[in-house]
Amino acid sequence: MAGRFAPHRAEPARAAVPRPAGMTGPAVPVRTTAPAGTTGTAASTSAAKSALTRDWTPPGPLDPRLVLGPLRRGPADPTFRFTPDGAAWRTSRTPEGPGTLRIAARGGRIEAVAWGTGASWLLDRLPSLLGAEDDPDAFRPRHRLLAITRHRRPGLRLVRTGLVMESLIPSVLEQKVTTDEAYRAWRRLVRAHGTPAPGPADDAAFAALGLYVMPDARTWSLIPSWEWHRAGVDAKRSATVLRAVRVARRLEEAAGMDLPQAMARLRLVPGIGPWTAAETLQRSNGAADAVTVGDFHLPAIVGHALADNRHADDEEMLALLAPYEGQRHRATRLILLSGRVPPRRAPRMTPGDIARL
């Protein structure tokens, strides 16, 4: 369960781009355009450095940090950053190519800027990413703790990226290890085999973020065994990733499926069980009922919060969440946000490091 911009400079006139079909909000303008006469590879490179913008007004309260937080794999995630100015930066490998997205809340409006060949894809899906398809009113709290937390967090909506592999691979890396071990492996693999993120050219603040786009499926499949080992990933987890990337296109189709069908599609891959599938679909599909079963800590947290039972197991957790059928993932999010967790009574698990072996 899981930078500031350079000083303001005068900008060239923005040329409006026709709004894609189904897009809401204002048309997406281009900040910069390719120089006249640029063709071929040079034009593609210039287009990747251009910035597209979009403003969107959500239908109700929205806190981007709460919504996007589950996408960050640790404070040093090379694909995601929260910056001191309140903005969120994330990179994605979209069906149209790599892209970088900057999201900032300004009053009741969301301002987004995107770079790269995947910029249009990211901006088209901005409302969906920020929970426009989520329905918080479908949740009916039956416990005082949940009612209070919901009241205090009115900006919570469930994220929906529409991309399966970017959540599946780090979820596989998190299987059966400490969070720090998984985050370290993700950082090392993405920085070593990913690509530098597209962004504002010659912007020192952006460069300082050190953002990368995760590898594509073919690149993941070509990572040698010793690189997985050096990243601290055992053979079981690396084999699961390799099996998944071989059928990446079929797995990406799960982003458009209902939860039962999506769970079944992911679990066809050996090594992907209910825990990994739920953790993935919570992010890719915004699945409000994708409760995480098989987690080491979550049953105790839910049991402690709802029944003062810190020894609850999965079966007892599911019984406590039964009144929230259809919204069980939202219920666990609210419990985690409440801060009501059982006090620690044992030393932390000692992280392993197979890279030293």
pTM of the model: 0.85
| 344 — pLDDT class (breaks 50, 70, 90) | confident
Please provide the average confidence, as pLDDT, over all residues in the chain: 88
3-class secondary structure for 88-104? Answer: EEEEEEECCEEEEEEEE
pLDDT, tens digit, 9 for 90 and up, residues 78-126: 999 999 999 999 999 999 999 999 999 998 999 999 999 999 999 999 9
| 351 — pLDDT class (breaks 50, 70, 90) | low
| 350 — pLDDT class (breaks 50, 70, 90) | low
Give the span between the Cα atoms of 163 and 344, in whole angstroms: 36
pLDDT, tens digit, 9 for 90 and up, residues 186-204: 999 999 999 999 999 889 9
Give the span between the Cα atoms of 17 and 282, in whole angstroms: 33
% of the chain surpassing 90 pLDDT: 80
The pLDDT assigned to 343 comes to 84
The pLDDT assigned to 16 comes to 35
pLDDT, tens digit, 9 for 90 and up, residues 32-49: 333 333 334 443 445 456
Bridge partners (DSSP) listed for residue 111? 55, 104
Task: Report the run of H or E that residue 306 belongs to, with start and end.
Answer: helix 298-307
**Beta-strand runs (E) in 117-196:** 195-196
- 152 phi and psi, to 5 degrees? -80, -15
